């Protein structure tokens, strides 16, 4: 995996592009090529692997939502954690995220699960692992992605101030150990999965808390509403 071949968004390439040249990333690239040659289907599609960085430039990041690995069903993953393309059934965890936004901010759930508008407004939706095998959750854990996404979080932690990090579930919270809580706001909860959401995610108030923190630090709050599916598909 080479920084020359990977089209990483320029502001991110300046900070973590060199990481792509490391031996562990070369090994990851070889692994992904071998998996494809063996006939395995990898999600998301190649052009979407770095979509979180493409949509949210380094200096535009206001909020970070950390996920674990991409959805592993057909047509679901497109490079933003928890998000699916318009027209794809809204996954249960995302349904719970929308429920909490409605409870917290009074914003009605949209008729789709595409979170690209959030990304364009400064919400970095980053999975710890950026690829997965079809039908095999967590198949690419431990193959090298974790160090790369750690480098992205570390760069934000060191170079920026006043970012809100939303860490849902134990996996995201472990990754959050990189974050200086004197410089940034860290919001923790159980995962929004139906298995755990009732134990503290529903009722956490993270979306209003994030906006309050941003405003206290002279930044605009995030508009957590999403346009209707029809208007997204027309773009």
* 3 state SS for 128-143: CCCCEECCECCCCCCC
Residue with tokens 């990304």: 119
**Residue 180's Cα: distance from chain center in Å?**
19
120 annotated active-site: no
Question: What element of type H or E holds 43?
Answer: strand 42-43
Report phi then psi at 67, rounded to 5.
-110, 180
Helix (H, G, I), strand (E, B) or coil at 77: coil
Do 156 and 185 contact (CB within 8 A), yes or no? no
Helices 145-159, 23-37: crossing angle, 10 deg rounding = 140
**Residue 198's Cα: distance from chain center in Å?**
22
Helix (H, G, I), strand (E, B) or coil at 12: helix
Count of C-beta atoms within a 10 Å radius of residue 218: 7
Residue with tokens 């429920």: 99
Copy the structure tokens of residue 226. Answer: 């999403």
Q: Which of 48, 59, 69, 223 is catalytic?
A: 69
Copy the structure tokens of residue 26. Answer: 């070369």
Question: What element of type H or E holds 124?
Answer: strand 123-127
Residues known to be catalytic: 69
């Amino acid at each position: 995996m080479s920084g020359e071949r990977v089209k990483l968004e320029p502001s991110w390439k300046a900070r973590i592009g060199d990481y792509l040249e490391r031996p562990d990333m070369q090994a990851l690239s070889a692994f992904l090529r071998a998996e494809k040659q063996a006939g395995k289907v990898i999600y998301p599609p190649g052009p979407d692997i770095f979509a979180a960085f493409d949509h949210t430039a380094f200096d535009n990041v206001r909020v970070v939502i950390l996920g674990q690995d991409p959805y592993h069903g057909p047509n679901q993953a497109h490079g933003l954690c928890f998000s699916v393309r318009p027209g794809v059934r809204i996954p249960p965890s995302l349904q719970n995220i929308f429920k909490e936004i409605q409870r917290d901010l009074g914003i009605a759930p949209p008729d789709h699960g595409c979170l690209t508008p959030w990304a364009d407004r400064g919400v970095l939706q980053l999975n710890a692992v950026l690829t997965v095998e079809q039908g095999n959750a967590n198949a690419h854990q431990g193959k090298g992605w974790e160090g790369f996404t750690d480098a992205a979080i570390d760069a934000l932690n060191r170079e920026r101030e006043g970012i809100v990090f939303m860490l849902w579930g134990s996996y995201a919270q472990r990754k959050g150990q990189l974050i200086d809580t004197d410089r940034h706001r860290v919001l923790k909860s159980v995962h929004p999965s139906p298995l755990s959401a009732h134990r503290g995610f529903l009722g956490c108030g993270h979306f209003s808390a994030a906006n309050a923190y941003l405003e206290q630090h002279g930044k605009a709050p995030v508009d957590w509403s999403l346009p209707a599916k029809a208007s997204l598909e027309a773009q």
